[in-house]
Structure 1
Amino acid sequence: MRHLIDPTDLTVEETEQIVALAEDIIANRAKYSEACKGKKLATLFYEPSTRTRLSFTAAMLELGGQVIGFSDANSSSVSKGETVADTVRVIRCFADIIAMRHFKEGAPLVASQYAGVPVINAGDGSHSHPTQTLTDLLTIKREKGRFDNMTIGFCGDLKFGRTVHSLIKALSRYSGIKVILISPEELRLPDYMLHEMSVNSKLEFREVRTMEEVMPELDILYMTRVQKERFLDEEEFDRVKNSFVLNPEKLTTAREDMIILHPLPRVNEITRAVDNDPRAAYFRQVENGKFVRMALIYTLLRWADENKPFDRTPVFSEEYVVNEYECPNRRCISATEDVDRLFHRQADGTCRCAYCEAKARQD
């Protein structure tokens, strides 16, 4: 059994195979119209979503399969206190594959331990969003023709931006990648990500405070919104909500072949006047999401049918510590549900939570 919980659960070769399959689906849609006939996808969405949930639904229907699930956790037994583990044990009786979005970081990882069918992480808190990463990679491939030798600027909310975290992980495996982090101090990339990037010899990065100073360097500008729902302090949100706004004036120094990506939804960080610029690829990016999810669903179900040996999620393929420490992250699934407290032991002796990657509290 294979799951997709983190972008690195797929090897570089497997990632590129899924992107290539998505391109084949785009070129030959009729060929795949019954590829998943008789199969059911369960979409378990514990927080609101438009693009991702409908994208998964459209993907399965275009493959000839069926879709069950919920778009509001309050309409399910979750409202009665049912745990993630128990929910997926029930859902496995009705579905062949699960796509889960959850506001708690690490919830899809917990689900993968109990589901018995492939689990796809459709976004867990501010931690990871691997199918958006596949969407981004397909878009980059179609727009730029390559994954290597590029400079990409990530702008806006880098602290809570799970799409940013996931795409950086994926791109770090390619050569010639330069990352420029554009954010206010309050929304800097999390420390664990900065540490991961600093020890990765393939990836160069630097932090700046304005997009104007780096615009001429960029092959890709990846915009993100400031996510009000991730803030515990509304005053802090108000201070940073309008930190970066992309308008046509700021694009005057950008390369003609630069592309603008955004996982959406946007609020005011890209003005409508930018939409007609040929470099604006974010709505093309949305459509690519359906095709790459078709490729992923088809691939995971095929692997399951072939009884391919279960390659355990990376956190469990290493040495790890169980129940010895406590995760300090209140958004972590381990803070609210009865799960094993699992931690990676790092080379420097510190430990990081297997569910959310927060540094362990060692009393």
Structure 2
Amino acid sequence: MSQEKSEELAGKILGMMFFEPSTRTRLSFETAMKRLGGNCIGFAGSAASSVSKGENLADTSKMFEAYSDAIVIRHDLEGVGRFISDIVDVPVINAGDGAGQHPTQTLLDLYTIKREFNKIKGLNVALVGDLKYGRTVHSLAYALGMFGTEMTFVAPDDLKMPNEILHDLKKNNIKFNETSNIKDVIDDIDVLYVTRIQKERFPDVEEYSKIKGAYLINYDLIKGKDLIVMHPLPRIDEIAHDIDNTKYNKYFEQAFYGVPIRMAILKNIIKNKM
């Protein structure tokens, strides 16, 4: 699969506006576009663009519209993707907006789960770690809810799932539980979706220091359980390396699926615009 290539988007350009650091998302979008025969332009960090000279986001976006057939943006402000989509005439893909959403990550997460279980509906998924600032779990919670998946949110009190998301889930009669103790749920879940504590989102570094390392998923914790472990990466200290070479580890496969999933996204939105 990693060697598959086509010319379906030959001559097309993907504009990549990455104002925040990214490894997997940025590189998988770039790989996906090139495997479809297209090319990429853009920057990884505002210091490499005219934003560092004071150019506003709207003007930068209009320039990318002029040079590109689609735009991928990652930014530290929530709602930026929607804002840009209102001022440009090319498709805009949200590659992560602060502590808001990360929709393309959710698509590859769902794909990973479906490949493993051949279904999504009826599973029990635990989302663990930084649920307050973790944009991946925000998008994933909404998506899993659409499939009727039962969810358990495992987080310290200061990092619980935002109330607006809980409200939306309740409004749509989606089942979920909340706990701060992972041992309460470890025997009953199919998917353990782990996230890192988002240091860069904390207004106070001391508050981060109090919470970091709140959860450590190691082999002893999950040994003998019938589950898989997922993580959007990067991991810091929340998943021990003794899980890497076990049947439980699906986080590297999960990251790999970023390329075919984003190939499908790019092919769909760019060809539909042609």
TM-score normalized with structure 1 length: 0.74
Q: Which structure 2 residue ranges, 5 or more long, are not aligned?
A: none
Match of 1:46 in 2: 19
C-alpha deviations, 1:313-350, integer Å up to 9, x for none?
A: xxxxxxxxxxxxxxxxxxxxxxxxxxxxxxxxxxxxxx
The aligned amino acid for 2:56 is T
Q: 1:231 aligns with which of 184, 202, 217?
A: 202
C-alpha deviations, 1:277-318, integer Å up to 9, x for none?
A: 11210000011011100000000012111xxxxxxxxxxxxx
Match status 1:254 vs 2:225:
yes
Match of 2:181 in 1: 210
SS at structure 1 position matched to 2:153 = strand
Match of 1:179 in 2: 151
The aligned amino acid for 1:214 is V
Match of 2:4 in 1: 29
Match of 2:164 in 1: 192
Q: 1:165 aligns with which of 123, 126, 138?
A: 138
Change (3 A) 1:157 1:27: closer
> Structure 1 residue 252: deviation in Å?
2.4
Match of 1:295 in 2: 264
Q: Please give the residue correspondences for 1:1-363 in structure 2 after superposition, counting only pairs within 5 Å.
A: 26=1, 29-30=4-5, 33-175=6-148, 177-201=149-173, 203-252=174-223, 254-255=225-226, 258-305=227-274
SS at structure 1 position matched to 2:141 = helix
> Structure 1 residue 27: deviation in Å?
9.8
SS at structure 1 position matched to 2:193 = strand
Contact 1:84 1:110 in 2 (8 A): no
Q: Which structure 1 residue ranges, 5 or more long, are not aligned?
A: 1-25, 306-363
C-alpha deviations, 1:109-161, integer Å up to 9, x for none?
A: 11101121000000000000001001101111111111211100000000001
> Structure 1 residue 28: deviation in Å?
9.4
C-alpha deviations, 1:214-261, integer Å up to 9, x for none?
A: 111111000000010000011110111010000011002521xx1111
C-alpha deviations, 1:187-206, integer Å up to 9, x for none?
A: 001111111111111x2101
Contact 1:59 1:290 in 2 (8 A): yes
Contact 1:248 1:274 in 2 (8 A): yes
Match of 1:358 in 2: none
The aligned amino acid for 1:29 is E
Percent pairwise identity? 43
Give 4+ residue runs of structure 1 displaced > 6 Å after superposition.
Answer: none
The aligned amino acid for 2:161 is L
SS at structure 2 position matched to 1:133 = helix
Distance 2:100 2:109 in 1: 17
